[in-house]
């Protein structure tokens, strides 16, 4: 017989979402795999998990244990920990729930249904161009079912949640019929799947099935053409700004990323282990980098070792902030990945760098902290990634500072915007100048496909070289130069004068020079420049001006 629950206390609300987070964690990497595009940014599950972890951690710190108090804390934690578009939308769902149950000591099934309905409205309102066939559709369909069921039985929370979860399941399965790109790739929406998993975990808790959850795993809903290839898994943790940021690439044979994660998990914070049996990348914040390097050398050969003292970086950062504050009363914050690109942005006078990008989206808290530490009450933010723009938008209501967000989606757009910055102009004039400037540059990104898929009429094999032109996947092939030339052929280069190649961490200078010479031979009117970007994942980021 199904357990009946007439009310949820604040403590039960907190434990319900804690259980839902644990349930989500079991399938976060599977949800990552649902990413339609084969570029290395399939981190929806990871972003949602990070957001939920932050949400629950804040709830455990809340002094008010009423349902309203816990809901407010859950919403605050989700906002501060939100990463990527999926995390931001999830934070808005939590916010809607908190708004509806304000001042309530406990909540009934009817209250929960209304809270889910409010969550849907808030989530839709948070996006300027909401797209159906996504997490938004799933929360809308699920909340409509909750309201309908509560009209028949407003007291029993379990009955309402059962209907909610079933409706969410059906909605996720239906997402490919609403988004052609999902149908073509043969997958359901990753954000919708993540929300369904959270709701299902909450239902398991309400039904008293927490013990069974330990031995089960969430089911990932698939479409008629499921993808079976998997992205490397990630262990996500909150960023800790002290100690040594230690990064290295490990090459060997028969390496087990799960074992490496398990071994390193207690040796630091912000652990990320990604790769395959032959190549593994490790990122960790630790007080003892030597221990990490020593362990890695026992597994294979280490390459591209980087150990950065974050305490020293903080000191230098603060000093440079003060120096720059004398030149202008407007601070700039840019999201950048890669030491080379960091140097480029620093040389252009950016005030603060927030480290992040593909696969490592910074949270609302990361960007908010950078804004608050900036030596000015006027701040311009350059997200430089389409999956970070929405996160940056969440900072505005959190600060008393004047914020302008330039919606740059690529690194070249961010650089173009910075070049247009006028130190003598006010913030609004600069925002206008920078918005006009970033639209004048075209961006090509070259990387390897992390999965097999079919999209934009292209059948792509795993590890094939692919290119994106202004974030649209346009070419796939087996040779980097051929793919790049094929992509350049799709651009009208007659009016362009400068092409800049930012070569990545895994690309050698000799290879970049060869690529540049090939471009010069084919397009002699272009001034081709080479800059070491050190960016992860992408062999080249190309700016065309």
Give the whole-angstrom CA distance, residue 221 versus residue 160: 21
- Reported confidence tier of residue 241, pLDDT bands at 50, 70, 90: very low
Q: Which CATH superfamily is domain 7-213 in?
A: DhaL domain (1.25.40.340)
Q: Higher model confidence: residue 369 or residue 226?
A: 369
What is the per-residue pLDDT across 180-193, written as a single tens digit (0 to 9) for each? 878 877 788 999 99
- Identify the band that residue 282 occupies on the pLDDT scale cut at 50, 70 and 90: confident
Q: What gap in Å lies between CA 354 and CA 87, rounded to an integer? A: 18
Q: What angle do CA 390, 145, 14 make, to 5 degrees?
A: 60
Instruction: Specify the range with the lowest mean pLDDT, choosing from 24-28, 155-159, 389-393, 470-474.
Output: 155-159
From the list 106, 206, 97, 100, the residue with the least C-alpha distance to 161 is: 206
pLDDT band at residue 53 under the 50/70/90 scheme:
very high
Q: What is the percentage of the chain residues whose pLDDT exceeds 70? A: 88
Cα 162 to the chain's mean position, in Å?
30
In this prediction, residue 262 has a pLDDT band, given cuts at 50, 70 and 90, of confident
Domains 7-213 and 244-310 share a fold: no
Q: List C-alpha distances in Å: 219 to 24, 31, 169, 196, 200.
A: 11, 10, 10, 10, 10
Compute the distance between CA of residue 120 and CA of residue 141 in angstroms, rounded to an integer.
9
The CATH superfamily holding the domain 327-438 is Phosphotransferase system, mannose-type IIA component (3.40.50.510)
Tens-digit pLDDT profile for residues 113-147: 999 999 999 888 877 678 899 999 999 999 999 99
Torsion-angle region of 365 (φ positive above 0: left; ψ -120 to 50: alpha; else: beta)? alpha
Report residue 36's pLDDT band, with 50, 70 and 90 as the boundaries. Answer: low
Average pLDDT in the 265-282 region? 72
Q: What is the largest CA-CA distance in the chain?
A: 77
Tell me, what's the pLDDT at 6?
Answer: 82
Whether the pLDDT of residue 238 is over 50: the answer is no
Say which residue the tokens 């990604």 belong to.
274
* Better-predicted residue by pLDDT, 33 or 97: 97
Q: Round the average pLDDT of the chain to a whole number and report it.
A: 86
Listed by start position, the domains of the chain span 7-213, 244-310, 327-438, 442-544
Sorting pLDDT into bands at 50, 70 and 90, what band is 521?
very high
Q: H-helix or E-strand containing 544?
A: strand 538-544
Task: Report phi then psi at 17, rounded to 5.
Answer: -75, -30
Give the phi and the psi of residue 544 in degrees, each rounded to 5.
-120, 120
Query: What's the mean pLDDT in 214-227?
Result: 67
Residue 316 pLDDT grade (very low, low, confident, very high; cuts 50, 70, 90): low
Give the CATH fold of the 244-310 domain. Answer: Alpha-Beta Plaits (3.30.70)
CATH of domain 442-544: 3.30.1180
pLDDT at 223: 58
The larger pLDDT score, comparing residue 347 to residue 139, is at 139
What is the dihedral angle through the alpha carbons of 69, 115, 222, 129, rounded to the nearest 10 degrees? -100
pLDDT of residue 231: 30
Would the pLDDT of 326 be above 90? no
Q: Please tell me the distance from the alpha carbon of residue 30 to that of residue 23, in angstroms, as a whole number.
A: 12
Mean per-residue pLDDT for 384-389?
93
pLDDT digits (tens, 9 = 90+) for 417-463: 999 998 889 999 999 999 999 999 999 999 999 888 888 888 899 99
Does 321 score more than 50 pLDDT?
no
Check residue 349 and give its pLDDT: 86
Show the tokens assigned to 47: 């972003």
Asked if residue 227 has pLDDT above 50, the reply is no
For residue 472 the two structure tokens come to 């649209």
131: its two tokens: 């797209």
Lowest mean pLDDT among 64-78, 209-223, 379-393, 469-483: 209-223
Element (H, E) at 540: strand 538-544
Structure tokens at 457: 């009429």
Average pLDDT over residues 474-485: 94
What is the distance between the alpha carbons of residues 96 and 72, in angstroms, rounded to a whole number? Answer: 10
**pLDDT at 278 (0 to 100):** 79
Q: Which of 207-211, 501-505, 529-533 has the lowest mean pLDDT?
A: 207-211
- Whether 104 shows a pLDDT value over 90: the answer reads yes
| Global confidence as pTM | 0.70
Q: Smallest Cα–Cα separation from 493: which of 531, 442, 446?
A: 442
Q: Give kind and range of the element (H or E) at residue 531.
A: strand 527-532
| CA atoms of 206 and 183, how far apart (whole Å) | 34
Least confident segment among 149-163, 268-282, 428-442:
268-282
Eight-class DSSP state of 215: T
User: Is 2's pLDDT higher than 60?
Assistant: no
* Length reported for the chain: 545
């Amino acid at each position: 017989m199904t357990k009946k629950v007439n009310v949820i206390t604040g403590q039960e609300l907190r434990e319900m979402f804690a259980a839902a987070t644990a349930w989500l964690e079991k399938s976060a990497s599977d949800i990552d795999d649902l990413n339609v595009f084969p570029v290395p940014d399939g981190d929806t599950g990871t972003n949602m998990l990070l957001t939920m972890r932050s949400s629950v951690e804040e709830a455990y710190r809340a002094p008010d244990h009423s349902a309203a108090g816990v809901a407010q804390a859950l919403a605050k934690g989700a906002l501060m920990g939100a990463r990527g578009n999926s995390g931001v939308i999830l934070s808005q769902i939590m916010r809607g729930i908190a708004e509806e149950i304000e001042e309530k000591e406990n909540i009934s099934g009817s209250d929960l249904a209304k809270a889910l309905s409010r969550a849907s409205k808030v989530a839709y309102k948070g996006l300027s161009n909401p797209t159906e066939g996504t997490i938004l559709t799933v929360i809308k369909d699920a909340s409509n079912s909750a309201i309908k069921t509560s009209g028949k039985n407003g007291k029993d929370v379990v009955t309402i949640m059962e209907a909610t979860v079933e409706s969410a399941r059906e909605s996720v399965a239906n997402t490919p019929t609403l988004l052609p790109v999902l149908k073509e790739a043969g997958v359901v929406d990753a954000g919708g799947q993540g929300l369904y998993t959270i709701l299902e975990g909450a239902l398991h808790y309400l039904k008293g099935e927490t013990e069974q959850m330990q031995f089960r795993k969430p089911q990932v809903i698939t479409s008629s053409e499921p993808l079976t290839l998997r992205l490397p898994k990630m262990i996500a943790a909150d960023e800790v700004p002290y100690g040594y940021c230690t990064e290295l690439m490990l090459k060997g044979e028969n390496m087990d990323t799960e074992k490496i994660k398990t071994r390193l998990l207690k040796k630091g914070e912000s652990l990320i282990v990604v790769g395959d049996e032959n190549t593994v990348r490790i990122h960790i914040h630790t007080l003892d980098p030597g221990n990490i390097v020593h362990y890695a050398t026992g597994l294979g050969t280490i390459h591209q070792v980087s150990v950065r003292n974050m305490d020293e970086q903080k000191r230098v950062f603060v000093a440079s902030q003060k120096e720059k504050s004398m030149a202008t009363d407007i601070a700039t914050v840019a999201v950048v990945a890669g030491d080379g690109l960091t140097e480029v942005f620093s040389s252009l006078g950016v005030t603060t760098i927030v480290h992040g990008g593909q696969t490592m989206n910074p949270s609302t808290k990361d960007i908010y902290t950078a804004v608050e530490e900036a030596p000015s009450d006027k701040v311009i933010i350059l997200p430089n990634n389409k999956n970070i723009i929405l996160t940056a938008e969440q900072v505005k209501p959190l600060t008393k500072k004047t914020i302008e967000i330039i919606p740059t989606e690529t690194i070249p757009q961010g650089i173009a915007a910075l070049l247009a910055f006028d130190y003598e102009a006010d913030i609004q004039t600069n925002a206008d100048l920078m918005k006009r400037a970033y639209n004048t540059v075209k961006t090509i990104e070259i990387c390897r496909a992390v999965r097999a898929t079919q999209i934009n009429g292209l059948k792509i094999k795993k590890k094939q070289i692919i290119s994106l032109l202004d974030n649209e996947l346009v070419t796939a092939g087996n040779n980097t130069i051929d793919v790049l030339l094929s992509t350049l052929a799709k651009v009208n280069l007659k009016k362009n004068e400068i092409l800049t190649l930012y070569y990545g961490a895994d690309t050698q200078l000799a290879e970049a020079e060869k690529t540049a010479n090939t471009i010069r031979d084919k397009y002699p009117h272009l001034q081709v420049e080479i800059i070491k970007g050190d960016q992860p994942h992408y062999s080249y980021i190309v700016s065309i001006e």
